Structure 1
Amino acid sequence: MFNPATLFKAPEVNPITHKARTLPFFNIVNIYGRVFFFSWFGFFVAFWSWYAFPPLLNDIIKKDLKLTKIDVANSNIIALCATLIVRLIAGPCCDRFGPRYTFAGTLLIGAIPTFLSGTAYTRNELFALRFFIGILGGSFVPCQVWSTGFFDKNIVGTANAVAAGFGNAGGGVTYFLMPAIYKSFLKRGLKPHEAWRVSFVIPGIIILFVTAGLILLCEDTPVGKWSERHLHAEQNLAAHGVQARLVDAPTGGITDKVSTEGTNSPPSTVGDQKLQYDATGDRKTSTYADHEAQLSEQQMLDTARGEIVQKPTAKQVFGVMFSPHTLVTAFCYFCSFGAELSINSILGTYYQKNFKTLGLSESGDWAAMFGLLNVVARPLGGIISDLLYRNLHTVWAKKALLHTCGVITGVFLIVIGVLNPHNQHTMFGLIAGLAFFLEGGNGANFSLVPHVNPHANGVVSGMTGATGNFGGVIFAVIFRYNAYDKSFWIIGCITIAMNLALCWIPPFSKKQVGGR
């Protein structure tokens, strides 16, 4: 049963990885609550800046730069291309350098073109700036990898889904924020030509503040530095009396071994670190001992062998990227997040097309609701996924939820495309239903991702996130060359077909260490 007190108090932790087994959402003093806050808020401001153009693009910027409808559509496609590349790169970077520094790097690099947004005076300059601002979309990968590193498998789906859901809401909030910032500068006496340019300075400044907080106030892992994560896992095993060698570790990444064979004395070191003992000769307990979950010896070994992230070689990166189990999460995300990105870019224009009485502000407000539903729908997908896993004790339950959401999403897309509603109640109701299952499917997806090749979680997250962006590019091209209603049902057919084609593949390899 859910206990509301867990949202405020220090969480129970896994004794080997020290990952939290509850989500202290409101406790930002606690390390887990603090990391969780910066993971979702960092992605929130990144998404806000990434999608800062669409609310102003179809009217103010379009007139100022004398853009055509085709130019606007092309700029939306270009905005997704850099993100695709960065997400592919960010995955291996997370495994090698750690998600915190990868996160900070994407935010800082993406802040530069954000500040320069106002310097666009031609179509090509706009295209170039939107391409490089797309780097910010790559921050999703370290956001999810960082969250996965701090929360255990019983709650990681909820943590990832809430972090991504709140972060994705930046794509909805921008429809309120950017017009409001723009209008505030108009009231201060700036001309429209100047006001929209100055508006982009605001998200740039906030990105810098969030990055500083992320670096100065947070840790790489629950046990400290990223480079020392293997040693801490081995140290924790020994501290809990598990007298075994760490054999069959994935990719041979755990090389220091614990051995007490042929002796009754406790080990004095693990790797290069000394173990601590009290005056009686007993090991000192972990600083987390009062909050540790009870795991069996085998569960501890499986955790150490299967969940410690390795530094991948190029061969290992490609092996994980193109394993059938990774491709399941990748192509399901291709359909769900790809559809979300492309729909986010055209929804306000679609509303204006079907409902002539809606002005720029009102159509933008209704379009924002699609993105804002991420606050509810995406976390709910992760929460339900975790509940199914805890009660049914099988990862297949998470996978079944993912494909169910995918098929229902496809049905909603087809219905919207076929009906092409000109009644506001019908249109807004169908879009809300679509958002519930589409965004819930995104949450269910990244609830499944931590179970797939957990020793290379960054690579799996990067491949999945990048393929979602690839879907956004493909679906944006479909919107570019077809009427909006026709595009909806085409995307719906693709979504149903792809989910049905992938549903038979097991969630992870039978040879996977520590998986269940």
Structure 2
Amino acid sequence: MQPPSKTTPFSLPVDSDHKATKFRPFTISPPHMRAFHLAWISLFSCFFSTFAIPPLLPAIRRDLHLTAADVGRAGVASFAGSIFSRLAMGPICDLLGPCAATAAFSLLTAPAVLSASFMSNSTSFIVIRFLIGFSLANFVACQFWMSSMFSNNVVAVANGVAAGWASVGSGFTQLVMPLIYSFLINTVNLSSSTAWRVAFFVPAFFQTVTALMVLAFGQDLPDGKYKRSSNITGQISKENAFTILLNGLKNYRGWILGLTYGFCFGVELTTDNILAQYFYERFNLDIKTAGAIAASFGLANIVSRPAGGLVSDEMGRRFGMRGRLWSLWVVQTAAGLLCFLLGRSNSLWGSVLVVCCFSFFVQAASGLTFGVVPFVSKRSLGVISGMTGSGGTIGAVITQLLLFSGSSGNYMSTQTSISLMGILMVFCTLPLTLLYFPHSGGMFCRPNYPPTHQQHYDHLLQCQ
């Protein structure tokens, strides 16, 4: 480790790759902490945009004459839009770096957010939600960026805090969009139909500004602009995007982490999508109160996902990879049981209490998942991040399509669907027991390489 000194251009202590070995989120020192703040703020704006529609659904449904099936299909579309974009984002980051990738996706999807103001029927509603969903690919770039800036001993907490603070955008928009809508009606004297349309100028503008900030002030790596190089030979790699992608796709650990993430973060996305409408209809609340309750679920990310990262790093220091995997399994299983309980709760205040507990555990599980990702493959870090991130949106599509599509031919009550979602979470966490890392073992197996051979293993990991 290199301590900060007069001859070192970094304000934080760094390792041999100039990655920070300390994480200080309340500073903005370049390049490490400035990258952290740009990453989470940019991703925050994407979450804000993606979930700006659900809290205004009662008003939008009236004006566009949407059916429950239309709303369900749009919910699926909003996540389907980010599946392939997230998978593509991994190789894009590997080739171009996180700054260019982040700014490009934000600038390309901001017009889709603005287009929400001009929706006129169910088809345009579904298409707009699909296009806006592409912005969530920036989650992969955010995690890639943190893994490029922070050393292994703090990378999980850096990933957890960045993603956690960014995910607050999904709750913040549930709270803010109804307030903007009410302000435009009560103070500006706009009609309901005009008010919700004008409200979408706010997330579109916000997303554009954050993209420009990343371009102006962002830095890919501690030493400057991103350049894909071979850590083994020290020379520029000639690998193309297909080779990078194929190398990551062959790693079975990425597939298991994708499944796990699909039923923690994917469930979180689905819950963000249906919670306001659920409380609005189940307990006959007004739009602002239902939005405030739904907001509490997303706002919990400010502490819950970072807590998952902290737990992952601490368990990693004490017990190695075994500690990271066991803590992930325990937390996500607890989240599944709480999700099941939410669907069985029949009182308003009981449901609110369960939502608060459920939000903490399911979001912490997301942080714990990305506490494992950086150790899967250094060579295809972006691809593994993309596979895991795509798993999150695929999980959201599956749960939304199977349980909350509003299909008249196979209709279940929302509370029953929520309970079934919890059961799926518990079962889809079990494959974690199959994960094995030669240098640190798995949940039940010892490592093949003793500590004295760690340097040899690190060399092998770079080749994966």
| TM-score, shorter chain, exceeding 0.5 | yes
1:25–1:514 distance in 2 versus 1, CA, 3 Å: farther
2:308 aligned partner, one-letter code: G
For 1:503, what is the secondary structure of its paired residue?
A: helix
Tell me, in whole angstroms, the C-alpha distance in 2 between the residues paired with 1:81 and 1:45: 19
Conservation of the 8 A alpha-carbon contact between 2:156 and 2:368: yes
- Give the CA deviation at 1:365: 0.4
1:479 aligns to 2:425 (yes or no) = no
Task: Tell which deviates more after alignment, 361-370 or 317-326.
Answer: 317-326
Count of residue correspondences = 430
- Give the CA deviation at 1:113: 0.6
- Give the CA deviation at 1:405: 1.4
Tell me, in whole angstroms, the C-alpha distance in 2 between the residues paired with 1:437 and 1:152: 26
Q: 2:340 aligns with which of 389, 392, 414?
A: 414
- Give the CA deviation at 1:26: 2.0
Q: 2:313 aligns with which of 371, 381, 386?
A: 386
Conservation of the 8 A alpha-carbon contact between 2:91 and 2:244: no
Conservation of the 8 A alpha-carbon contact between 1:310 and 1:455: no
Conservation of the 8 A alpha-carbon contact between 1:396 and 1:506: no
1:479 aligned partner, one-letter code: F
Q: 1:447 aligns with which of 359, 371, 374?
A: 371
Conservation of the 8 A alpha-carbon contact between 2:179 and 2:288: no
The residue aligned with 1:91 is: 90
For 1:221, what is the secondary structure of its paired residue?
A: coil
Tell me, in whole angstroms, the C-alpha distance in 2 between the residues paired with 1:508 and 1:310: 28
1:331 aligns to 2:259 (yes or no) = yes
Q: 1:427 aligns with which of 343, 348, 351?
A: 351
The residue aligned with 1:320 is: 248
1:135 aligns to 2:81 (yes or no) = no
- Give the CA deviation at 1:320: 1.4
Task: Tell which deviates more after alignment, 310-319 or 184-193.
Answer: 310-319
- Give the CA deviation at 1:413: 1.9
The residue aligned with 1:291 is: none
The residue aligned with 1:64 is: 63
The residue aligned with 2:168 is: 169
The residue aligned with 1:458 is: 382
The residue aligned with 1:152 is: 151
The residue aligned with 2:288 is: 361
Tell me, in whole angstroms, the C-alpha distance in 1 between the residues paired with 2:142 and 2:356: 26
- Give the CA deviation at 1:66: 1.0
Q: 1:488 aligns with which of 414, 418, 423?
A: 418
Conservation of the 8 A alpha-carbon contact between 2:325 and 2:432: no
Tell me, in whole angstroms, the C-alpha distance in 1 between the residues paired with 2:168 and 2:352: 18
2:194 aligned partner, one-letter code: E
TM-score normalized by structure 1? 0.80
The C-alpha deviation readout for 1:143-192, integer Å capped at 9, x for no partner, is 11011110111000000000000111100000111112222222213222
Conservation of the 8 A alpha-carbon contact between 1:24 and 1:32: no
The residue aligned with 2:304 is: 377
The C-alpha deviation readout for 1:201-244, integer Å capped at 9, x for no partner, is 111111121111111112111111212x648xxxxxxxxxxxxx
Over the aligned positions, Cα root-mean-square deviation in angstroms equals 2.0
The C-alpha deviation readout for 1:461-494, integer Å capped at 9, x for no partner, is 1110111100000101112242222212222222
Tell me, in whole angstroms, the C-alpha distance in 2 between the residues paired with 1:501 and 1:20: 33
The residue aligned with 1:191 is: 191
Tell me, in whole angstroms, the C-alpha distance in 2 between the residues paired with 1:457 and 1:66: 45
Tell me, in whole angstroms, the C-alpha distance in 1 between the residues paired with 2:101 and 2:244: 20
For 2:19, what is the secondary structure of its paired residue?
A: coil
Conservation of the 8 A alpha-carbon contact between 1:370 and 1:431: yes
- Give the CA deviation at 1:316: 4.1
1:334 aligned partner, one-letter code: G
The residue aligned with 2:329 is: 403
Return structure 1 stretches of 4+ with deviation > 4 angstroms. Answer: 309-313, 507-512
Q: 1:347 aligns with which of 266, 275, 290?
A: 275
Which runs of 5 or more structure 2 residues have no equivalent in the other structure? 1-9, 406-410, 440-447, 449-456
Conservation of the 8 A alpha-carbon contact between 2:95 and 2:241: no
For 1:513, what is the secondary structure of its paired residue?
A: helix
Conservation of the 8 A alpha-carbon contact between 2:178 and 2:291: no
The residue aligned with 2:362 is: 438
Which runs of 5 or more structure 1 residues have no equivalent in the other structure? 1-8, 232-245, 257-270, 272-308
The C-alpha deviation readout for 1:78-116, integer Å capped at 9, x for no partner, is 111111111011111010111111111110111111121
Q: Once the two structures are aligned, what percentage of the paired residues are identical?
A: 29
The residue aligned with 2:427 is: 497
Tell me, in whole angstroms, the C-alpha distance in 1 between the residues paired with 2:168 and 2:437: 28
2:365 aligned partner, one-letter code: G
Conservation of the 8 A alpha-carbon contact between 1:145 and 1:457: yes
The C-alpha deviation readout for 1:277-335, integer Å capped at 9, x for no partner, is xxxxxxxxxxxxxxxxxxxxxxxxxxxxxxxx995542441341242211121111011
Conservation of the 8 A alpha-carbon contact between 2:55 and 2:277: no
1:11–1:310 distance in 2 versus 1, CA, 3 Å: farther
The 5 A counterparts of 1:237-248 are none
Task: Tell which deviates more after alignment, 191-200 or 345-354.
Answer: 345-354
TM-score normalized by structure 2? 0.88
Task: Tell which deviates more after alignment, 340-349 or 490-499.
Answer: 490-499
